[in-house]
Amino acid sequence: MKAAFREAMGNYPTGVAIVTTTTATGDPVGLTINSLASVSMEPLLLLWSVANSVNSAREFIDGAGFAVHLLGAHQSDTAVTFATKGHERFTKHRWGWSERGLPILQDSVAVFECAQYKAVEAGDHTILIGEVLHVAQADRAALLYHRRGFHSVAPLPICAEPLIVTQGW
């Protein structure tokens, strides 16, 4: 059933993001994610999940905050770098420090700087909820992940005909 679950979820297109924070000694860490959702408008909250087996999981779970970077269609190489073990992730891509002391990747579609709000254990992952303190965005096409590959989407025309939903499968 795990294989069927993974295949079915792989058919659900998601955006691609990188989450960054710092170690206890102040070094930047980051990883590629596709489990991101808005939670609340008051206060502004978002969530993502990290596998507990990831080397940097404790930095995110125990840290004071993190930055979520929505990647643009031009950043598939950045997504791969931050998803691959053993890479010197921050030496390969342009980045700098935010006013809040978080590592920020350049050229992202959007960046949400968050304070840690809550961490919830859920199976082999931990769901991290962040309170959004700052948002920066650019008008660029987003990078999407679908069926184990990267894609971008052109806007579709608005359908003039009403959508007809039939009952059953």
Structure tokens at 139: 């008008």
What's this model's pTM, rounded to 2 decimal places?
Answer: 0.87
Least trusted range by pLDDT, from 6-15, 57-66, 115-124: 6-15
- pLDDT score of 120: 97
Cis amide linkage into residue 43, ω under 30° from 0: yes
φ and ψ at residue 55, rounded to 5 degrees: -55, -35
Q: Which CATH architecture has domain 2-151?
A: Roll (2.30)
Report whether pLDDT(108) > 60.
yes
pLDDT at site 30 = 97
Q: Does the structure show a pLDDT above 60 at 154?
A: yes
User: Helix, strand, coil shares of the chain as percentages rounded to 5?
Assistant: 15, 45, 40
Residue 78 has pLDDT above 80, yes or no: yes
Average confidence (pLDDT) over 131-135: 98
